[in-house]
Amino acid sequence: SPINQNSGRLVKMLRQVSSKYNIFTSIGLKERKSVAGGVLANTVAALKDNLTTRDAPTTCSSKILQDYVSPFDSTVARLLTKESTHIVGKTNMDEFGMGNSSLNSNLGPTLNPLYRQSTDIVEYEEKTFWTKGNDINEHTVFENPQSPQYTEHRYLVPRLKDSYQIDPEMRIVGGSSGGSAAAVAADLVDFAIGTDTGGSVRLPSCYTSIYGYKPSYGRISRWGLVSYAQSLDTVGIMSKNLDILSNVFKVLDHHDSSDPTSISETQRSRNETLGAKIKLGVPLEMNLPGLDATIKEKWHSLLQKLQESDNIELHTVSIPSLVSCLPAYYTLVTSEASSNLARFDGIRYGFRSNEQTSQEPEFTTTRSNGFGSEVKRRIILGSYSLSSYGYSSHFMNANGVRKTLINELNNVFKDPHMLDGAANPEGVDFLLCPTATSLPPLVSEYQSIKPVESYMNDVLTVPFSLAGLPVLNIPYGKSIGFQLAGQMGQDYKVLKFAQLMQ
């Protein structure tokens, strides 16, 4: 485990590997304290850079939040630190979580460590900032205040090399939690925290052959998570080791009054008892004509293997609205994003353009220069869906698809939905289907496709996000993975069954 390294050696290793794959947006240089207790003592972790921390910047891989330091810790960071995890750095991502490749980062792409990269693409420089107690107004300064009231924080930040070469055989790592997946895949950490709005934990986990868990919506606190689309955003966990992943989930599985969408303590089922016969549902509509032949074959061989077990029964199930989920997701996610990202106005957070022309206010130049092109595209799409032209035809229709999907799923599952109680005694315990439609594309290939074509790669992950279900990516071969989904609220059953499948 990386914990066996002393702090200096650990940083050297992180820096060396990350120079090739661009995994971290910042690497902390603080000494690792030796700790006596804590459920997660002796583990090393990384945090996606859209979760706030007081001792490192939170940038969402966006220029608009360059050097931004939050005056408070996210609940996730607080709970992990309380249980003695050593957080070594923040990880690179698609800007604000928008993408599925980790190519949409203002710090340059994260690459997939399962494929060879021979040259360095980034170099690191050291930076320091100082913080003063709980003073929000004067919280962060970048020049040494020469005052004992301030605490010093040293860290490394990447800068893309002036000329760099990405290996022509290099494949995308997936996104948007690509840095977190890469950190785990390259054995730099025991686990990493990602976030999943429409597949961002599951897809990169699949492409890097690791476990990636997206819990039920509302299960892990979003306090301190920079919102992309708040009705879909979840915090997820990535690891090679399912026991570590389950332990981390237990640490984070608490109600938090700071997050209005956090599930109440009484509604959290921690039941992990599986029946004598487990019914596995295979959704017909996910057997897409465009599914890669290798993935189809693996899917069949996995199902065949499971069928050999006496206590597993396979059932094909039909969920007709699955085919409408992708457009519904992109309508809702962009609408929510356009509203959430209105807060980045150059006044309250981060980057502020000092350009001001007679035609354009500073506010406009700040947003034009601060956001990347994919983010701007989504703000425009979302603003349309929320406008009087698009509201009933787009936004409300998409909500209708979401509602229908949840009703159809309630008919398919045996367990009742956590919130509305409907149940089908004849239903299945879990659904099983691929995570990705293909193996990870080459970086060069992916850089040249149209944005809308790239959205297609989310087709298998977004339905479970719309329904808020707990889903685990189970690695099954190089860059191939399968999603195991349970009914909303049945998080522990999903983890338990995955353990048995090992």
Give burial (CB, 10 Å; 0-12/13-18/19+) of 66.
Answer: middle
Pairwise CA distance, residues 366 & 65, whole Å:
11
Q: Can residue 333 be called a binding residue for ligand GLN (CB under 6 A)?
A: yes
User: Which one, 174 or 390, has the nearer CB to ligand GLN?
Assistant: 174
Pairwise CA distance, residues 171 & 168, whole Å:
8
Pairwise CA distance, residues 86 & 437, whole Å:
35
Q: CA dihedral defined by 395, 398, 399, 403, rounded to 10 degrees?
A: 170
Site string for ligand GLN, 78-97 (x = CB under 6 A): -------------------x
Pairwise CA distance, residues 178 & 92, whole Å:
7
Q: Which of residues 167-186 bind ligand GLN (CB under 6 A)?
A: 176
Q: Can residue 199 be called a binding residue for ligand GLN (CB under 6 A)?
A: yes
Q: Which of residues 271-330 bind ligand GLN (CB under 6 A)?
A: none
Q: Is the CB of residue 111 less than 8 Å from the CB of residue 131?
A: no
Give burial (CB, 10 Å; 0-12/13-18/19+) of 348.
Answer: exposed
One residue of 28, 198, 224, 350 binding ligand GLN per CB under 6 A: 198
User: Which one, 10 or 23, has the nearer CB to ligand GLN?
Assistant: 23
Task: Say whether 31 sits in a helix, a strand or coil.
Answer: coil
User: Which one, 175 or 475, has the nearer CB to ligand GLN?
Assistant: 175
Min dist. Cβ of residue 452 to ligand GLN (A): 12
How many residues of this chain bind ligand GLN (CB under 6 A)?
13
Positive or negative, the Cα torsion across 34, 27, 478, 500? Answer: positive
Min dist. Cβ of residue 366 to ligand GLN (A): 23
Tokens 């606190």 belong to residue: 221
- Active-site residue set: 48, 176, 200
Q: How crowded is the C-beta side of 425, counted as CA atoms within 13 Å?
A: 0
Pairwise CA distance, residues 358 & 3, whole Å:
56
User: Which one, 99 or 372, has the nearer CB to ligand GLN?
Assistant: 99
Min dist. Cβ of residue 190 to ligand GLN (A): 23
Min dist. Cβ of residue 487 to ligand GLN (A): 21
Min dist. Cβ of residue 261 to ligand GLN (A): 16
Q: Is the CB of residue 89 less than 8 Å from the CB of residue 56?
A: yes
Q: Can residue 197 be called a binding residue for ligand GLN (CB under 6 A)?
A: yes
Q: Can residue 99 be called a binding residue for ligand GLN (CB under 6 A)?
A: yes
Q: Can residue 458 be called a binding residue for ligand GLN (CB under 6 A)?
A: yes
Site string for ligand GLN, 200-239 (x = CB under 6 A): x---------------------------x-----------
Min dist. Cβ of residue 101 to ligand GLN (A): 8
- Contact positions vs ligand GLN (CB under 6 A): 97-100, 176, 196-200, 228, 333, 458
